[in-house]
Amino acid sequence: MARKNIPLHVGFIPDGNRRWALNRGMGKEDGYSFGIDPGLSLYEICREQGIVEASIYCFTQDNTKRPDAQKRAFTDASVAFAFEIARRGAALLVVGDETSAQFPEILKTFRIRRGSGMKVNLLVNYGWEWDLAGLKNGGLRSSDVSRLDLIVRWGGGRRLSGFLPVQSVYADFYIRDEFWPDFEPRHFDEALSWFKRQDRTFGG
């Protein structure tokens, strides 16, 4: 649960990479690499703000239906980001179907949380149906991920897109219309200010 109106666990949906690239005359696949540096900036801001846990949507099982060039691009960006935040001391967990050929082999070591810093959960080749199917065997496949307090989405979409459906049940949802590669620190500052004004009664 959030303390002093600061969320303990924030989820991030960094959408709009392809539209950002198209607006600049690039191929759709070219936008993903421009999302890495904003992600690193956001990670550092979360640490400074005392956020205990962050979950970030990298790519879904549905995303892997996209053209090969896009799949390679978002996979490469996800791997690069994962290893850089691990290097910076994050307690990294990668959540996704590692039995699929779409899951990067090099990230399998992070299917168990590694590190002792701020908890970061990267959703890689993640699917909500895959996650919930774990209940047949006694628990969510994302059982090591705590309940979310706040979800911030870029790109203007007003939907969860299958993002951690169980952990999201009481999360407040904040939307930015800017595309993810245009991230600025004030976006998250404004999200936190907005969060402080919410009446979080959890139905009571």
Domain architecture of the chain: domains with CATH: 9-194 (3.40.1180.10)
C-alpha torsion angle, residues 110, 113, 119, 123 (rounded to 10): 40
Given a cut of 60, whether residue 159 has pLDDT beyond it is yes
Q: Could you tell me if 153 and 175 are in contact, meaning their C-beta atoms sit under 8 angstroms apart? A: yes
**pLDDT tens, 85-134?**
999 999 999 999 999 999 999 999 999 999 999 999 999 999 999 999 99
Give pLDDT, residue 1: 46
93 pairs with which residues across the strands? 121
User: pTM score, two decimals?
Assistant: 0.94
Alpha carbons 119 and 50: distance in angstroms, whole number: 11
Tell me the C-alpha distance between 121 and 144, whole Å: 9
Query: What strand order describes the sheet that includes 172-175?
Result: 91-95, 119-126, 53-60, 9-13, 150-153, 172-175
Answer yes or no: are the C-beta atoms of 7 and 195 closer than 8 Å: yes
Instruction: For residue 50, give the amino acid letter.
Output: G
